[in-house]
Amino acid sequence: MATSTERRYIYPIESYAVSLTHHFGLFRETITVTIADIELANSQLDICRLTMVRHGSRFLIDDIYGTGFYSLFSNRGIGTLFLNSALGYLSAYYPPETVIYGQLSTDDDPLPIIQQKLYSACCARRRHFFSRYGFVFESESPLSWFSGPLSSLDLVVNGLFLGRHPRYIPFTDFIDVSPGE
């Protein structure tokens, strides 16, 4: 009896590969979206990823790594590409009432005591990022929870990532490279 399985999908773009993996573990189910520069082994893009964890009929956006304020990839469309990819996948395999939720984080922001204006700008940008999808926030707190069912969330289809590639790739364009059973 297998203890875990996974579905894997990729989308090649020039020298990049966007990868979406849905891991069905014995005790934990996760979705991870990453991007890699195929020509540059160990490029800094390798640290960028979105991770979601299933909790019952809901999916928690655990984090979007490598695209924060101090990152080379801040405001480059990679987080949008990741969340678009994950929501596209979930819309293909899960019912519209499936809730996606998360909590705003200030982990990588400038310290509010030292740079209040910059800290406030980072918080506003993060809230704006998730609000574009239609997520509803519980409060105005910089650490507010947000949520929304798939049926009420919109993909962000305009714009580019890394200045030249679309931030929206229809999930149907991804190639299934799942391991054989």
Sheet containing 58-65: order of strands: 136-137, 145-149, 99-103, 58-65, 49-55, 29-37, 16-24, 5-13, 175-176
The three-class DSSP label of residue 129 is: helix
Q: Which domains does the chain have, with CATH numbers?
A: 5-176 (3.40.630.30)
Query: How many residues belong to the chain?
Result: 181
**Of 16-30, 82-96, 110-124, 150-164, minimum mean pLDDT range:** 110-124
Confidence tier at 4 by pLDDT (50, 70, 90): low
pLDDT tens per residue across span 142-178: 888 999 999 999 999 998 887 788 889 999 999 999 8
Residue type, 146: F
Query: pTM, whole model, 2 decimals?
Result: 0.86
- Give CA–CA dist 97/104, Å, rounded: 22
What is the pLDDT confidence band of residue 48, given thresholds at 50, 70 and 90? confident
Mean pLDDT for all residues in the chain: 84
